[in-house]
Amino acid sequence: MNPKPRAARAVPTPAAVVLMLSLLALGCAAPRATPEGAAGVLPTRPLTLKVVNQGLTEVLVYVVDGTAPRRLGPAAAQRSTVMRIHRAQPPTAPLLLMVRPVRSPQVFVPDAVWPRLGQVVELTVDSDLSASRLVAR
């Protein structure tokens, strides 16, 4: 009587084991989104941003709040626009914005500001983007 042959079992290589453990560790270490008001999370108020576009072209405004810029919206030429910024960072962190004219690869990043609670941040966009300025009032 011949015993039944066993099916071949796949044995992971050491490299595959290291890769699986690394992916598992990354998944466990990734920051989790927690609702405001949960333990350890301070509720934040959105910031008010007033964009005064003195330029001749429409611009797109972005907030740089982490790894990638997040689009806030357009600001029409020769107009003022009010936007709300919901930040992922604590309120004491600096605010960094990015401005890009529509249909242009040109980008301008004004100096960061440290707005306090209740302040309005004002971005004045000039035709010469390098003359644009960001202030907290």
User: 24-51 pLDDT, tens per residue?
Assistant: 555 544 444 444 444 444 446 788 999 9
Q: Is residue 107 part of a domain?
A: yes
How far is 63 from 94, CA to CA, in rounded Å? Answer: 11
Residues 6+ apart with CB under 8 A from 42: 36, 90, 91
Q: Is residue 76 part of a domain?
A: yes
Residues 6+ apart with CB under 8 A from 70: 62, 63, 64
Q: Is residue 18 part of a domain?
A: no
Residue pointed to by tokens 């690869």: 105
Length of the chain: 137
User: Which domain range does residue 128 map to?
Assistant: 47-136
Any idea what the CATH number is for the domain that residue 76 is in? Answer: 2.60.40.2890
Q: Is residue 36 part of a domain?
A: no
User: For the chain, what percent of residues have pLDDT higher than 70?
Assistant: 66
What pTM value is reported for the model? Answer: 0.66
Q: Pick from 70, 117, 76: which is nearest to 93 by CA?
A: 117
Q: Is residue 21 part of a domain?
A: no
Task: For residue 108, give both structure tokens.
Answer: 């301008």
Q: Is residue 8 part of a domain?
A: no
pLDDT band for position 6 (50/70/90)? low
Neighbour-count burial for 70-89, b at 16+ CB within 10 Å, e otherwise: eebeebebeeebebebebee
Q: Is residue 19 part of a domain?
A: no
Q: Is residue 114 part of a domain?
A: yes
Total domains in the chain come to 1
